[in-house]
Structure 1
Amino acid sequence: MSKGRLEAFSDGVFAIIITIIVLGMTLPDTFTPASTQTFLWEIFIFIEAGLLIGQFWYSHSRLFDQVTSISTSAVLFNILFLLILSLVPLFTRAIMQHPDLTAPIIGFVITILITSLIFQLLHRAVHGKNSGIDNWIFRISSFIFVIIIGTISFSAPQISTILFIIFPVAGWIMQLVYRRQTKK
Structure 2
Amino acid sequence: MKKNRLEAFSDGVLAIIITIMVLELKAPEGFEIEDLKSLAPKFLSYVLSFIYLAIYWNNHHHLMHTVTKITSGILWANMNLLFWLSLIPFTTSWLGEHITECDPMSLYGFNLLMAGISYWILTNRIIAADGNDSLLLRAIGKDFKGKISVVLYLIALLSLQFIYGLAPFIFVIVAIMWIIPDTRIEKSIEH
CA offsets, 1:60-113, max 9 Å, x none?
111111324311111111111101111111100000111121111111111221
Decide whether aligned partners of structure 1 residues 12 and 100 sit closer, same or farther in structure 2, where only a CA change above 3 A counts. same
1:153 aligned to which of 140, 153, 160: 160
Work out the CA distance in 1 between the residues paired with 2:181 and 2:81. Answer: 21
Decide whether aligned partners of structure 1 residues 115 and 27 sit closer, same or farther in structure 2, where only a CA change above 3 A counts. same
State the match for 2:2 in structure 1.
Answer: 2
Partner SS for 2:99: coil
How far the C-alpha of 1:148 sits from its partner, in A, is: 2.4
Work out the CA distance in 2 between the residues paired with 1:4 and 1:179. Answer: 18
Work out the CA distance in 1 between the residues paired with 2:124 and 2:91. Answer: 28
Work out the CA distance in 1 between the residues paired with 2:115 and 2:77. Answer: 10
State the match for 2:75 in structure 1.
Answer: 75
Residue pairs, 1:16-95, within 5 angstroms: 16-30=16-30, 31=32, 33=34, 35-95=35-95
Residue range with higher mean Cα deviation, 145-154 or 85-94: 145-154
Residue range with higher mean Cα deviation, 105-114 or 121-130: 121-130
Long gaps (5+) in structure 1: none
How far the C-alpha of 1:159 sits from its partner, in A, is: 5.8
What is the alpha-carbon root mean square deviation over aligned residues? 2.5
Decide whether aligned partners of structure 1 residues 22 and 158 sit closer, same or farther in structure 2, where only a CA change above 3 A counts. farther
Partner SS for 1:175: coil
2:178 aligned to which of 171, 177, 184: 171
Work out the CA distance in 2 between the residues paired with 1:60 and 1:109. Answer: 21
Decide whether aligned partners of structure 1 residues 20 and 159 sit closer, same or farther in structure 2, where only a CA change above 3 A counts. farther
**Percent identity between the two aligned chains:** 24
Structure 1 contact 3–64 (Cα < 8 Å) conserved: yes
TM (normalized to structure 1)? 0.85
CA offsets, 1:128-181, max 9 Å, x none?
2545594621122212221222233335546633552222121112526x4787
Work out the CA distance in 1 between the residues paired with 2:73 and 2:170. Answer: 35
Count of residues in Structure 1 that have an aligned counterpart in Structure 2:
182
State the match for 2:117 in structure 1.
Answer: 117
Letter in 2 for 1:169: I
Letter in 1 for 2:88: V
